[in-house]
Structure 1
């Protein structure tokens, strides 16, 4: 299988962001050289949110190496702000976690909260915009009333939209507290690529206990953390997504990864491409401690065709041509059908097609689909002639 060699464009970091990551992740001499290159190329005042999220880690690395620079005070301020905001987030989320526990819903913290609890162990090092956690698909019906009672409302949605069909279409949904504005992502599947009823069963047997702000809950084991970080991270985002690189290398450097199991999961979950691309990138550019036989093992697995569709969509995100936009819809449909049926050629069944369109357009009835299709045809025609 052909793997990337240049790592440019799409979901890969820019040259400026690469210098920033190298300054954080490489050994002293190489890190300080990258720091000087970053200073020469960056327009600090025009930086987007993505790189700024890395400043707390940069601040700690430079302070450790004895670097003195006028920007250090700014980095220190960003670190302190991240510490305060995360402290507030953890304080606001804990009552919800306790209420879910009382309702019999087991929670598994993900992403930033898990990285802070297990690896960074410093509230200021990993800025978070929201709070992510996973629950069992079978517990969603118990969890939603708890969220509503605790003051959370769906973002860009209504409570009525949560039915069984939605759980095969989406891996989670965002909520916001009506008073504090605190946002969270509730996941009932770990990955959007795997929305089948039993896709996460093995994962739940491996979760490990963790202390979250004095409350005992659960998180993923290191191997599942690495898989989730890489697959979720390798996706184009309007805010440059580069912190997954620091997170993934931190997990690898501070954990024992079950590499054979990771390869098995890549095959069964159909995430060979994102794992191969991300791990080879970490190995080549940041010297992550990844066994070479793990990389060659991934290269030996032939990805499913849907993975190539998915990668084309995730690589460029919103900057898609009409053909790529169509490809995105096809990928989403195939993903939906894959979660609903294991039969060959199930995607040809019109029942699944109508169910998908109803969910995609958030319609209350399939009888509204013809009107939506007519409107879509008009928009496509206008786009073609202008």
Structure 2
């Protein structure tokens, strides 16, 4: 006999404390309530009390779903034209993002990669009509670890930019330690490449294999790809949504769609929740959907999930804090959630680790450097060494720094190989000319190729047309003053 569901309270640390409230609750009810008339009333009330242009992307994503559902019922509302315009704009951007990603996805499949869509893209692949109300400006894909390099090469060879600003040569050396990385191309292309579907604190080696076994094929813009099973789509939505304090809230819509589809294997769902320690986040989500929205979550499954969460011990407090929408945070909650996040990050240690990247720290040269004939440039070939084996390399550069606090990022690469990362921190906002000295070890194999010193941005943008962003993050031209090889000691 199934265990009866206990009462869910609204006080911390019970799960109702983390339910959405206020305007977010209104929007979710407008998107999710089973009664169409009641949903439309919530939508109209929200539109009466809020300006569409004044809210964030989180609300816009839900408004797209509401427009798709209740657009005709809201036709007489003064905000209706703006609501329809917002939905069309978001739909257009999603379509353009999918179109930009299509050739890369097809190339990955052609290269022999198994590619699985996750998050919003998977819902659209299962039901193409969902794209009217489901925003997917970034395409999240999962590949097996053994396919990570091939997928990475497909993107970099097709001019997809790495969002962090590092070079492809550097990132290739770190692939084994990265769960995901973001790439973009043009005005709309945005792909998040994952080799693990879940956060580092939610890992399960057994389920990492099982998610592929449960996956099924679907068409996405004409490309045949894999999508997670309904149970996996739900747990993925809960796992990501329960960590980011409702930065986006349409993950609850994704859960509802999966439940209403009637294909969720609840035994599989319970197994994933247990293996990945998602019971508290699942209890928050399912109790809200069932008790506050009226979604038909099987009572026995809800009771089982809540009972499992109740046994989570002190980690329950941490998970409840992380699941609460950030718009509901007070000062004490902010501090408590920050502490909970640090505990979660600590649990990540020991996973996907590899030796730290080689970083040469720049030291200011206090004596006045002699003028050099070399022009300022973003890349400069270094002279070839006249010795073999391991050796030390001393590099001195002159850089004109903007009047902002920022990092100076440089790299030494040898063809397709990464040699070293050079970094210096500028604390003063005075700006002006700086002379920096870097010193590190290079090997015979690296020195046997032409070494290039390159300036790198500290982050990447689609277009560099903002002077403040260029000053704070752009690659800084440098003048090579000297590069000297010497034996190791």
| TM value normalised by structure 2 | 0.63
The 1:313/1:157 distance shift into structure 2, 3 A limit, reads: farther
**Alignment partner, residue 269 of structure 1:** 276
C-alpha separation between the residues in 2 aligned to 1:182 and 1:11? 34
How big is each residue's C-alpha offset from its partner over 1:146-165, in whole Å with a ceiling of 9 and x where there is no partner? Answer: 11101123211533245568
Q: Is the 8 A contact 1:81 1:124 kept in 2?
A: no
Pick from 284, 290, 295: which aligns with 1:283? 290
Cα distance change of structure 1 residues 292 and 9 upon mapping to structure 2, 3 Å threshold: closer
CA deviation after TM superposition for structure 1 residue 40, in Å: 3.8
Do 1:119 and 1:250's aligned partners in 2 also have CA atoms closer than 8 Å? no
Equivalent-residue separation in structure 1 for 2:104 and 2:292 (angstroms): 40
3-state DSSP of counterpart to 2:349: helix
Using the alignment, how far apart are the partners of 1:91 and 1:45 within structure 2?
A: 27
Question: 1:338-377 to 2 correspondence within 5 Å?
Answer: 339=351, 364=358
What is the aligned partner in structure 2 of residue 331 from structure 1?
344
Aligned residue pairs: how many?
Answer: 345
Query: Does the C-alpha gap of structure 1 residues 110 and 268 become closer, same or farther in structure 2, counting only changes over 3 Å?
Result: same
- 1:103–1:11: structure 2 CA closer, same or farther, 3 Å change rule? farther
Q: Is residue 92 of structure 1 aligned with residue 97 of structure 2?
A: no
- Following TM superposition, by how much is the alpha carbon of 1:300 offset from its aligned partner in structure 2, in angstroms? 2.5
SS of structure 2 residue aligned to 1:205 = helix
CA deviations over 1:184-238 (Å, ceiling 9, x no partner): 111111111344655410110011010011111110111111111122112335x
CA contact (8 A) 1:84 1:124 kept: no
Alignment correspondent of 2:37: 29
The aligned runs of 1:7-18 (5 Å cut-off) are 12-18=19-25
Question: CA distance change for structure 1 residues 22 and 235 in 2, over 3 Å: closer, same or farther?
Answer: same
Q: Aligned-pair distance for 1:41? A: 2.8
Contact kept, 8 Å, 1:57 with 1:125, in 2: the verdict is: yes
Distance 2:217 2:314 in 1: 37
Unmatched 5+ stretches in structure 2: 1-5, 363-489
Distance 1:141 1:109, change over 3 A: same
Q: Is the 8 A contact 2:31 2:39 kept in 1?
A: yes
* Alpha carbons 2:8, 2:16 under 8 Å: kept: no
> What is the distance in 2 between the residues matched to 1:157 and 1:223?
36
CA 1:73–1:313 in 2, change beyond 3 Å: closer, same or farther? closer
Choose the corresponding residue for 2:312, options 268, 293, 303. 303
Higher mean Cα deviation, 328-337 or 2-11? 2-11
Structure (1 or 2) with the greater strand fraction: 2
Give the structure-1-normalised TM-score: 0.78
Report SS of the residue matched to 1:54.
helix
For the residues of structure 2 that align with 1:54 and 1:64, how far apart are their CA atoms?
Answer: 16
User: How far apart in 2 are the matches of 1:66 and 1:323?
Assistant: 40
Give distance in 1, aligned partners of 2:271 and 2:300: 14
Partner secondary structure for residue 108 of structure 1: strand
1:292 aligns with 2:305: no
CA–CA distance in structure 2, aligned partners of residues 60 and 313 of structure 1:
30
Asked which structure has the greater CA Rg, the reply is 2
**RMSD of the TM alignment (CA)?**
3.3
1:260, distance to aligned residue in structure 2 (A): 1.6
1:53 aligned counterpart, secondary structure: helix
User: Does 2:58 correspond to 1:50?
Assistant: yes
| Greater helix fraction, Structure 1 or Structure 2 | 1
The within-5 A match list for 1:236-275 is 236=244, 240-275=247-282
Aligned-partner Cα distance in 2 for 1:240–1:104: 35
